[in-house]
Amino acid sequence: MAVVLGGGQFRYEAQDNWAKLPDGWALGEVAAVAVDDRDRVYVFNRGPHPMVVFDRDGGFLASWGEDLFKWPHGLHIGPDQSIYCTDEGNHVVCKCSLDGKLLLRIGTPGEPAPRMSGKPFNRCTHTALSPQGDIYVTDGYGNAAVHKYSPDGKWLMSWGAPGADKGQFNLPHNIACDADGYVYVADRENHRIQIFDGNGRYEGQWNNLHRPSAMFMTAGPCPLCLVGELAPYLPVNRETPNLGPRITILQNGEMVGRLNSTGGPGTGTGQFTSPHGIAMDSHGDLYIGEVTLSSWPSLFPGTPKPTHLNSLRKLRRLPAEAA
């Protein structure tokens, strides 16, 4: 029986075991996902083959990055179809061709900036492009900053500091840019998305989110923003309902749809553990990457990990329900 998530205009059928890997292969935790202009799906994972490429039906196409990445985290594809790969473990951002050729590296592999110094990078998390092609990088696990670079990788400016005030961050985990040049930062542990102009001036924020982790923004005017929210990890609220994990769909900061994990966190069909990456293809189908191994001890303390952990999910867009 099909498992359907969401409602109204945003209904999706969960499709498990969508990806077909070569015999003997397995994906590691899927930190991020991206889709190119031919609907090929790029899966940035923490297994032996860091970048695995599928067609939209799940057929295996290619893999690369085995000698390039240490600990994958963020991924997005620019308008010119270059792919930007944020390597948290190496403290670098790599711009690559879609077949894996390194075109630009920002940062020095294995040489992090001092922790919480505001200087790039210490465990950077994600990238976005301005309409002019400038590169924004969230620097989140060992820093609390956003860095701006020219298209050729020249540092232009940085902003942010640790804290919870406007313009401060408590784990800037993801970033997106809209067609007007506004910059959206998923400020995960402050439970908000902050909005800035292209030079880091605070413009506002979206609240009422629980640990926003993944983020995907559609193109064009009045974009949709899909946010992967994590579940609580603290003993005091770990089993509190209606906090995640889930996918929330926003427009102009207002919720227009929500995909809840069926029956709470889990690994079954229609369930999430930790939606860490989101991408959408031209048909409106969603691809969700999860860091299930990392989140399992916090979600289910004392419970052995299952032998099969699904870290990549496809949600097929269904027609809207009749009004």
Residues of the chain under the 50 pLDDT cut: none
Structural domains counted in the chain: 1
Residue with the two structure tokens 């040489």: 111
Could you give the CA distance from residue 93 to residue 127 in angstroms, rounded to a whole number?
Answer: 8
- The answer to whether residue 85 is domain-embedded is no
Strands 155-159 and 92-96: unpaired
Global pTM reads 0.97
- The answer to whether residue 242 is domain-embedded is yes
Could you give the CA distance from residue 141 to residue 183 in angstroms, rounded to a whole number?
Answer: 19
- The answer to whether residue 98 is domain-embedded is no
> Domain residues for 224?
4-28+110-318
The one-letter amino acid code at 130 reads S
Q: What is residue 61's predicted lDDT score, i.e. its pLDDT?
A: 98
Q: Write out the DSSP string of 207-220.
A: -S-SSEEEEEE-SS
- The answer to whether residue 44 is domain-embedded is no
CATH number at residue 264: 2.120.10.30
- The answer to whether residue 221 is domain-embedded is yes
Q: What is residue 307's predicted lDDT score, i.e. its pLDDT?
A: 72
- The answer to whether residue 180 is domain-embedded is yes
- The answer to whether residue 86 is domain-embedded is no
- The answer to whether residue 306 is domain-embedded is yes
